[in-house]
């Protein structure tokens, strides 16, 4: 174990992070940099809360789903009206989501990866193991929340994959969750730049601007936002004309795993007939991911839907099939790559954990957000995927290395894989949440 916090101290620290960021029925990702509610953050955060208070964990998801649009989309940000809206950009005025968001709710107008059904299933597993007297209450909550999650998944399958290809289209790099990943360099460089006044309050909350996306990237992000607003968030029109459209293999893989989770939740929620359709959707995605396999790179590749060309980059998205589930031959290749010299096995890494971009890639930058740093929630997704895919020993390698890292750096947003420096914001809730889940595995050994 690395010097720094003991496991017991890490547990206390992670719990304190969640409690200090608790806003009553939802949790801010961090005290200053992210003062609102983020969609996939809250899914991971709910898993952490389940180890402290399963009913509070349910409340985390319930509060997020209160911001769900009538269409079924879960927006990636639900803004806190009690926070100075200049504290984060782009704020709700830029998104112009009134008339789409629920009445009196301020939201963004794009989405993030659908981890929510996975989180709800994990909450139940944790409750069964640690608080069996609450399982009936959790099952009642599953029956309540299942219809909303079903609408969310249906929206993704029908609106973001209208041709039934099995791959989900994203309309903004932020929807991928991996904002400035090199995956998006090529299509993003073809996008114009906003001429509106650019506010960057995020740069005030980090020690160095090289830890965040560049101003040029932000101007392109804002250009895409303005394009969606100009269409009044018409998804059908955006799917045809929007200047950024990409088939995202990592997002799709998470949806496949979430569809599997939703099929199990459907049975608990007394919708057994729906379970089959969720499994069918998951199988369609897995088949589509197989078609996106590039044997030369041994990677699963995204597609630029404006050009029809594969986006040939070697990033963490390579390992999408380990999250969705895949056959043993494919998973064996991917596990070997994961622990090989481009990723966890690189001799220069402080901890053997997956960087967000291959260390051997020309675009690798150990400090620049999603262009190289290690992120605990992404490690959690791979750990969880390996565990359910029968690769328990490999999953355990990730878990123990992750606890080593977090014991040394604490609940930071992300980590420089070469120096081991904690980067981004401190007291990051989703990092604390996955730490609590990993620590629970330690306790059960």
Q: What DSSP line would sit under 66-90, residue for residue?
A: TT--TTS---SEE--TTS-GGGSSS
Catalytic annotation, residues: 179, 413
H/E stretch holding 248 reads strand 246-248
Spatial separation of the C-alpha atoms in residues 57 and 192, rounded to whole Å: 41
Residue 199: the pLDDT is: 84
Spatial separation of the C-alpha atoms in residues 135 and 125, rounded to whole Å: 9
Residue 80 falls within a domain, yes or no? yes
Residue 1 falls within a domain, yes or no? no
Residue 2 falls within a domain, yes or no? no
Give the CATH number of the domain where residue 47 resides: 1.50.10.10
Residue 1: the pLDDT is: 35
Question: CB of 408 within 8 A of CB of 4?
Answer: yes
What is the DSSP code string of 374-413?
B-HHHHHHHHHHHHHTT-HHHHHHHHHHHHHHHHHH-S-S
299-300/422-423 β-pairing:
unpaired
Residue 201: the pLDDT is: 84
Question: CB of 199 within 8 A of CB of 184?
Answer: no
Chain centre to alpha carbon of residue 29: 13
Residue 388: the pLDDT is: 96
Domain count, the chain: 1
Spatial separation of the C-alpha atoms in residues 437 and 379, rounded to whole Å: 12
Q: Where are the beta strands (DSSP E) in 123-216?
A: 168-170
Question: CB of 352 within 8 A of CB of 418?
Answer: no
Residue 137 falls within a domain, yes or no? yes
In a 3-state reduction of DSSP, which class is residue 169?
Answer: strand
Q: Prior bond to 175 cis, omega within 30? A: no
Residue 326: the pLDDT is: 95
Q: 111 lies in which domain range?
A: 7-444
Q: State the burial class of residue 47 (Cβ atoms within 10 Å of its Cβ: 0-12, 13-18, 19+).
A: buried
Spatial separation of the C-alpha atoms in residues 139 and 42, rounded to whole Å: 20
Residue 87: the pLDDT is: 87
Spatial separation of the C-alpha atoms in residues 205 and 185, rounded to whole Å: 25
Spatial separation of the C-alpha atoms in residues 207 and 202, rounded to whole Å: 11
Spatial separation of the C-alpha atoms in residues 211 and 203, rounded to whole Å: 9
Residue 219 falls within a domain, yes or no? yes
Spatial separation of the C-alpha atoms in residues 371 and 417, rounded to whole Å: 11
User: Could you report the average pLDDT of every consecutive run of 10 residues in the chain (445 residues)?
Assistant: 80 98 98 96 99 99 98 98 90 94 96 99 98 99 99 99 99 98 98 89 82 92 98 98 99 99 98 98 98 94 98 97 96 97 98 98 97 99 98 98 98 98 97 99 73
Write down the number of H helices and E strands in the chain: 16, 10
Chain centre to alpha carbon of residue 374: 13
Residue 261 falls within a domain, yes or no? yes
Residue 2: the pLDDT is: 40
Q: Where are the beta strands (DSSP E) in 266-362?
A: 293-294, 299-300, 302-304, 309-311
Residue 271: the pLDDT is: 97
Token pair in block for residue 135:
């399982």
CB atoms within 10 A of CB 155: 19
């Amino acid at each position: 174990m690395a010097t720094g916090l003991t496991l017991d101290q890490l547990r206390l620290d992670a719990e304190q992070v969640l409690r200090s960021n608790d806003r009553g029925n939802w949790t801010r990702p961090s005290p200053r940099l992210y003062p609102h509610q983020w969609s996939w953050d809250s899914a991971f955060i709910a898993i952490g809360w389940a180890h402290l208070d399963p009913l509070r964990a349910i409340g985390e998801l319930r509060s997020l789903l209160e911001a769900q649009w009538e269409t079924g989309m879960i927006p990636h940000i639900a803004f806190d009206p009690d926070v100075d809206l200049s504290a984060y950009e782009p704020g709700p005025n830029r998104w112009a989501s009134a008339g789409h968001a629920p009445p009196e709710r301020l939201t963004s107008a794009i989405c993030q990866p659908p981890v929510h059904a996975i989180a709800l299933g994990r909450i139940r597993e944790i409750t069964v193991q640690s608080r069996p007297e609450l399982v009936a209450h959790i099952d009642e909550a599953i029956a309540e929340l299942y219809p909303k999650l079903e609408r969310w998944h249906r929206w993704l399958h029908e609106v973001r994959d209208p041709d039934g290809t099995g791959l989900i289209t994203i309309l903004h790099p932020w929807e991928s969750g991996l904002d400035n990943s090199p995956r998006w360099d090529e299509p993003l460089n073809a996008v114009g730049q906003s001429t509106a006044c650019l506010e960057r309050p995020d740069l005030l909350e980090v020690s160095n601007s090289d830890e965040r996306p560049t101003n040029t990237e932000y101007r392109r992000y804002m250009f895409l936002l303005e394009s969606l607003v100009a269409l009044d968030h018409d998804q059908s029109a955006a799917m045809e004309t929007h200047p950024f459209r990409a088939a995202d293999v990592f997002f799709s893989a998470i949806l496949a795993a979430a569809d599997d989770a939703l099929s199990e939740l459907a049975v608990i929620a007394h919708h057994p007939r729906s379970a089959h359709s969720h499994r069918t959707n998951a199988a369609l995605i897995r088949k589509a991911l197989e078609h996106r396999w590039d044997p030369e790179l041994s990677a699963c590749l995204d597609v630029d839907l404006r050009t029809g060309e594969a986006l040939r980059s070697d990033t963490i998205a390579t390992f999408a099939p380990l999250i969705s589930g895949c056959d043993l031959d494919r998973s064996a290749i991917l596990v070997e790559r994961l622990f090989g010299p481009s990723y966890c096995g690189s001799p220069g890494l402080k901890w053997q954990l997956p960087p967000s971009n291959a260390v051997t890639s020309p675009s690798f930058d150990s400090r620049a957000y999603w262009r190289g740093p290690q992120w605990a929630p992404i490690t959690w997704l791979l750990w969880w995927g390996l565990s359910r895919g029968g690769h328990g020993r490999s999953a355990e390698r990730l878990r123990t290395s992750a606890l080593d890292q977090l014991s040394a750096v604490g609940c930071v947003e992300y980590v420089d894989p070469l120096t081991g420096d904690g980067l981004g914001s401190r007291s990051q809730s989703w990092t604390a949440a996955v730490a609590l889940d990993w620590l629970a595995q330690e306790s059960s050994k």
